[in-house]
Structure 1
Amino acid sequence: MPEQHWMLDNTLHFGVGIEDTFVPQERIGQRRLDEYELTQHYEHWREDLTLAAEAGAEFIRWGIPWFIVEPRAGEFDWRWLDEVAAFTRELGLRVIVDLMHYGTPMWLDNQFLNTAYPERIAFYARAVAERYAGTWDDFTPLNEPVINAIYCGETGAWPPYLSGQDGFVKIVVALCRGMVRSQQEIIAANPTARIVSVDAGFRWEGTESPVPFDILEERRFLSLDLTMGRIDANHPLHNYLGTHGVTDADLDWFRRNAVFPDVIGVNYYPGFTTVEYVGNTIIPIEAGTTGLRELLALYYDRYQLPLALTETSRGGPVESRLTWLTESITEIQTLRSEGLPIVGYTWFPFFTLVDWLYRNDLSTPDDWFIHMGLVDLHRGPDRVLERRKTPAFDHYRSLVRASSGAAVGRP
């Protein structure tokens, strides 16, 4: 029988994450988006991982650029990944491997709509799990499937550029088939592997929306409900899915192939997880720890599985980051004392990221820098991005040390 997941030892584990969005496809008016390239992580990965360990992180959410590692279908270039894996082992830094963070390889035409997509990503997932078993044993098959479906299927911002509810459903079903097959292949290759699902939490305020609120409320759970085989004729989204081409045979496939995560990861940002619609415009709403508490409780009530806060941070002045670090960790500890099985806390991103809107114009990456991390990036006259620790770095480290070993309470 597989050993218990290291996260499930009744303590709160602290990590950080490196922003790793990849959209390598270009078209007129939209350029390539590769966060590792834009933040010079490809050049400074040893320094970045060392800093993560120095900050006190036990684990890191770190993504593989699939489009680079498998440059041609079925052909892998492991050289860089082998170095990264060896170095994380040397540091004693656990990696929750982000197998797919939006971008597909260039050779996969029509991206997620390619009929071979579920098997292609499963083939890649198995190859990674086999090669790094014993070093990397924790996997997120696909980051934020609902956000992915919004950008690629509902708003047409990213390839394959579908739009509307029909596009959303087509993309999310394809993604979920890929997630199921990936998890199956990961576990087949490495039975000790464990799965941390990750999706963005959503909250809504206001009285109007282009999509009915009852659909929105359920849609945030759609990827988990599909992959866990929970959708049948009585599910609130059964008719919605059927209207957009999902058949009972499709749903039966998910039920027969149901997979379950060891930990459900929820991403929450106090300044923009909660939104209000004004016409078709989305306005972010500040929700603080109230939104965090509500969202984590919703996921636990629905699935009764261990939870991790897999992304949280706040942009702006360092002072605001310091405040949110204290407030969010305190709230997580309070929830644990009340019996909610929260097993992980992740400050994400660890360092400055480049806003995704960079893809849509010709401004420099520096014009799109968002400083949300424990480390800020500053470009020197030699064009190298220097990594500078902020006061949030030391504050995170002190909070981790103070929280070490705190056990979850019982209701």
Structure 2
Amino acid sequence: MTPQPPLFQSFFLAGFECSSHRNMSRRRLDMIAATRHDLLALEDYSQLSEHGIRTARDGLRWHLIETTPGQYDWSSLLPMLRAAEAVRTQVIWDLCHYGWPDDLDVFSPAFVDRFAAFAAAFARLHVEETGRPPFVCPVNEMSFVAFAGGDMARSSPHTRGRGMELKRNLVRAAIAATRAVRAAAPGARFACIDPLINIVPRHAGEEAAVRAHNASQWQAWDMVAGREAPELGGSEDMLDVIGVNYYWNNQWLHDSQPLSVFDSGRYRPFRDLLAEAAARYAPRPLFIAETSIEGSPRPTWLRYVTEETLAAAASGVPVHGVCLYPVISHHGWDDDRYCPNGLLELTPLHGRRQVHRPLAEELARLQGQAAKALMGERRAAMR
């Protein structure tokens, strides 16, 4: 069996928090500006390269780029795009990371049309600037947006009971954007990113509801692939790369607290969740698109996720990388508290981010472990 070529320039990726939605109090967030990544992009990418990270997730701020329908001001993006090129960092660009222009109704057909046109315009710009087609995530975490914004009114569009309606239109938009980008930039790659979860019932009476909730995690991917609701325009060729987001609290007791990784009776090993996703969407490549935890457990959590990922890879799961997301610690969306979850801390010192040394040291150790494991797998696959 010939191994798949690596998707990314480095096994470990970094993600810049680029949320731009309106929060619970309906205040517009701009996490790229809040972390000063827009001003420090060159330094940020350079600093990542010092830690062996040559691939990153970053984002477009659609609400800044298209303030007038059909007219695009790329001045908020070009410094970041050019900085990545200068440092030779590969970027997966999120086209819609929770936020959109205020004049758009996210439930409307106009949202789909405007988003597809915006995606195509970006694809053309990317080719002009780099000579290459882009790697994009059209709509980040469609399932989470549908839950948080469509059912719980915790973020844009602040509605309740409309989660499925919202998910369907976001899927329509993602599919339309994929087609538009492919037409504008043949050879583009696409990451479809959503959380992997595992909910455990507290008692037998919750089993049916929990089964349905766990099954819903596949819905956006299945819709893009045309396996569910084919009237949305999905087909198998629309689903390219599977990105899974996995945090310390992605497994929980139904309507209760997160499960501990040490709760062996109820907590499913992450390698098993990865294997399930891989089997469902074979032979597509996967990667862990987001993972982190706050505070001192940062190194321990990264070690757990990485070692589980490598164990999955050793069993044949086509997993291509682990993304430290967010790579820069930041202030919370709704309460402005400091969230110490990054490899790099928020406040620069003399133009450089301060490094969280325990995480940096663990990352360096895991990079060696990953390189050795992946080299052994490639040799075995070539025998």
* Contact 2:192/2:242, CA 8 A, preserved across alignment: yes
* Contact 2:201/2:207, CA 8 A, preserved across alignment: no
Match of 1:15, as an amino acid?
A: L
Task: Report % sequence identity.
Answer: 25
Match of 1:129, as an amino acid?
A: A
Partner of 2:66: 70
Deviation by residue 1:268-315 (Cα, 9 ceiling, x = unmatched) = 11x21112234xxx4222337944222211211211122111111221
* Contact 1:12/1:342, CA 8 A, preserved across alignment: no
Match of 1:302, as an amino acid?
A: R
Aligned pair count?
Answer: 365
- Sort the Cα spacing of 1:356 and 1:136 in 2 relative to 1 into closer, same or farther, 3 A: farther
Whole-Å separation in 1 of the counterparts to 2:23 and 2:234: 38
Partner of 1:246: none
Secondary structure at the aligned position of 1:220 is classed as: helix
- Sort the Cα spacing of 1:58 and 1:42 in 2 relative to 1 into closer, same or farther, 3 A: closer
Candidates 255, 258, 263, aligned match of 1:284: 258
Match of 1:260, as an amino acid?
A: M
Partner of 2:148: 151
* Contact 2:124/2:185, CA 8 A, preserved across alignment: yes
Match of 1:107, as an amino acid?
A: D
Q: Does 1:390 align with 2:363?
A: no
- The two structures have a TM-score, normalised by structure 2, of 0.87
Partner of 1:299: 277
Whole-Å separation in 2 of the counterparts to 1:6 and 1:148: 32
Structure 2: give runs of 5+ residues left out of the alignment: none
Match of 1:18, as an amino acid?
A: F
Structure 1: give runs of 5+ residues left out of the alignment: 232-250, 359-364
Partner of 1:334: 311
Match of 1:121, as an amino acid?
A: F
Deviation by residue 1:150-177 (Cα, 9 ceiling, x = unmatched) = 111110122322212xx11100000000
Partner of 2:346: 377
Match of 1:400, as an amino acid?
A: Q
1:208-247 → structure 2 map (5 Å cutoff): 212-231=209-228
Pairwise CA RMSD of aligned residues? 2.8
Q: Does 1:98 align with 2:94?
A: yes
Partner of 1:126: 120
- The two structures have a TM-score, normalised by structure 1, of 0.81
| Structure 1 moving runs of 4+ over 6 Å | none
Q: Does 1:186 align with 2:184?
A: no
1:1-16 → structure 2 map (5 Å cutoff): 7-8=6-7, 13-16=11-14
Whole-Å separation in 1 of the counterparts to 2:103 and 2:301: 42
Match of 1:324, as an amino acid?
A: W
Secondary structure at the aligned position of 2:289 is classed as: strand
Q: CA deviation at 1:263?
A: 1.6
Match of 2:306, as an amino acid?
A: I
Partner of 1:57: 53
Q: CA deviation at 1:57?
A: 0.9
Whole-Å separation in 2 of the counterparts to 1:142 and 1:7: 23
Whole-Å separation in 2 of the counterparts to 1:68 and 1:57: 28
Whole-Å separation in 1 of the counterparts to 2:102 and 2:268: 42
